[in-house]
Structures are given as structure tokens and as C-alpha cells.
Amino acid sequence: MLGLPDSVSALLFDLDGVLTETDKVHAQAWREAFDKLLREQADAEGTHFVPFDPVSDYDEYVDGKPRYDGVRSFLQSRDIRLPEGSEDDAPGLGSIHAVGNLKNELVLALIERDGVAAYGGSMRYLDAVREAGLARAVVSSSANCRAVLKSAGIAGYFDTVVDGVVAEREGLAGKPAPDTFLKAAEVLGVPAAGAAVFEDALAGVQAGHDGHFGYVVGVDRAGQARELREHGADRVVADLADLLVEA
């Protein structure tokens, strides 16, 4: 009915790009934050300004990763070195943490201004999953996960949430490490082999594969079906509702 193996009894969903359209919001916020830094660097060095690509750079370097890891990854790709700073750095361009905090400030402003929408196909799938009585968790690197779930009106669909706040509190490594997914499965009382992972990010699909979960569904929102399979997706769909076709 749900397009999953019979052995699966728990479903672990990424948030941005799988359940909600906040992947677009994050991409825009990353672009604004990084472009400020890249333009400043180009002006200071007298070099050509090459902007952050909200598709290819987002997918490759920041999507699915904890915020500061995303900053480190992208800056490394451009051979830009900044001091680490600390989490209480003011939003800005002077450190890795300052850039990450600037991105977070921008994304919160965008969410407050425009709100958050859940994908229609994801809502159909969540309704079917809830009707089937399977355990459900959200696993997100975002520290704003609970606020987004509430804004989108879908918080009540899930038995537990493992987000950036939980990961920091419990010392869980972020995606592509499988730790946060494994924690969600543990809370739901199922082994990894009995859980399915739903991810649109390459780092998240890699985490599902490396954690030896029973099934990994890649959600292709950005034309990267091949890459999702290469990172370990057992099946790739354009929308979660596509899994219901087999019902």
C-alpha cells in the first residue's frame, strides 16, 4: 500500500524538501549569506565575483548538513578560510559561526514573512501512513525543525522529532553520518533494518545507506535521481505520493 517492504514498521522523514517546501527557503538564505561573503572577498582581492549556485552548490555542499558544517564545506570548495568563531557570534561574515548565524537569521525572516507549506503529495502520503498505523519520526539537521512543523500544520503527524537541537544536546554527528536516524529508530523502538528513510539530500541518503536501514527512498526535487541512487537510495521518486501508485 505504501510502496515499502513488508519488513518496514517505522518511517523516518527528513523535513526540508521531503515534507515541506523549506528547501527553497534554505537555498535562498544560503545564497544571500554566501553572496555577501563572496562579493566582499572578490572586492577585497580584485577578483571576479562568482555567486553561490542555489541548485548545484546547495545540493553538493550544504543540503542536509548541520548549518556550520555546511558553511565549512562550501568555503572549502572556494578555498576561503575563516576563523571558526563561536556559536554566539553575531550574524555576519567574520567567522564560520557568524556566517552560519547570518544564514539562520535570513531563513527565519523568510519563514516569518512567507510562512511554510507542506508538499501536497507528502500530505497524502502522511495521511496514508498514519492510517496504516506505522511509527513516524522527523529527522532534520535544522534547529528550527519544530517551528517549521508547527507552521506547516503537520507537527501532530509524528511520534518523535530528532532535530539539530537534539543532535547538539546528545552529541550526535550530523548527516552524512547516520547517527540522527539511528537515534530516531531507537526512540521508536525499531532496529535500523525495520525502518525506512526518506531523504532529498545526498548527505541524508548517504546516512540512510551507511546506517543499514531497511529501505532508503530518495526524493528527487532537483533533478538528481542518478546521484541519489549513487549515494544509496533503493528507490527514487519525484514526490512521496508516487509511492501510493502501487496501492
Residue 190 is which amino acid? V
Left, alpha or beta for 100 (phi > 0: left; psi -120 to 50: alpha)? alpha
Nearest-angstrom CA–CA distance, 98 and 88: 8
Q: Which CA distances in Å does 30 have to 58, 59, 92?
A: 8, 11, 13
- Known catalytic residue at 59: no
Given 16, 179, 220, 234, the catalytic residue: 16
For 2, the grid coordinates are: 505504501
Q: What is the dihedral of CA 140, 236, 62, 182, to 10 degrees?
A: 40
- Known catalytic residue at 14: yes
| Residue 89: other Cβ atoms inside 10 A | 18
Nearest-angstrom CA–CA distance, 104 and 145: 12
Given 6, 14, 79, 179, the catalytic residue: 14
Select from 14, 3, 38, 2 the least CA-distant residue to 137.
14
Catalytic residue annotation: 14, 16
